[in-house]
Amino acid sequence: MKVIIDENKCVGAGQCVLAAADVFDQRDEDGIVVLLNPLPPDDLGAQVEDAALRCPALAIEVVK
């Protein structure tokens, strides 16, 4: 599983951090998404997909 984020789309809602804190974080300065792990292990798959689904700005893409 590969995760791609689009910083330009991100609106800093923080939904991804709630869904998968091991994979996503937010920059302190502007709240924009920080990808902690672009290749998360399979056991985080459900959380990552949840993060992508929750993201209000459609800024997370999951490639399998």
Partner 1 sequence: MTATQPTTRTQPTVRTCPFDLPEEYRTLREQDPIIQGTLPDGVPGWLITRYEDVRAVLADPRFGASRPRMVGGDADGATPAPPPGTFIFLDPPEHTRFRRLLTGRFTVRRMQQLTPAVEEIVAERLDDMARAESPVDLVQAFALPVPSLVICELLGVPYADREEFQRNSATMISLTASPEAFQEAREAMRQHIHRLVLAKRADPTDDILSELVQTGELTDEELAGVGSLLLLAGHETTANMIALGTMCLLRNPEQVAALRADPTLMDGAVEELLRYLTIVQFGLRRVAREDVELHGHRIKTGSVVVAALSSGNRDSTQFADAPDQLEVGRKYSPHLAFGHGIHQCLGQQLARVEMKAALGALFKRFPTLRLAVPEEDVPMRHDMLVYGVHELPVTW
Chain positions contacting partner 1, by CB under 8 A: 11-15, 17-18, 25-32, 50, 53-54, 56-58
Compute the least distance from the CB of residue 15 to partner 1, in Å: 8
| CB 35, min distance to partner 1, A | 15
Q: Which is nearer to partner 1, 2 or 27 (CB)?
A: 27
**Both tokens assigned to 55:** 């993201």
Tokens encoding 62 = 């999951």
CB of 2 to partner 1, least distance (A): 22
60 touches 51 (CB < 8 A): yes
Residues comprising the chain, all counted: 64
Strands 2-5 and 24-26: unpaired
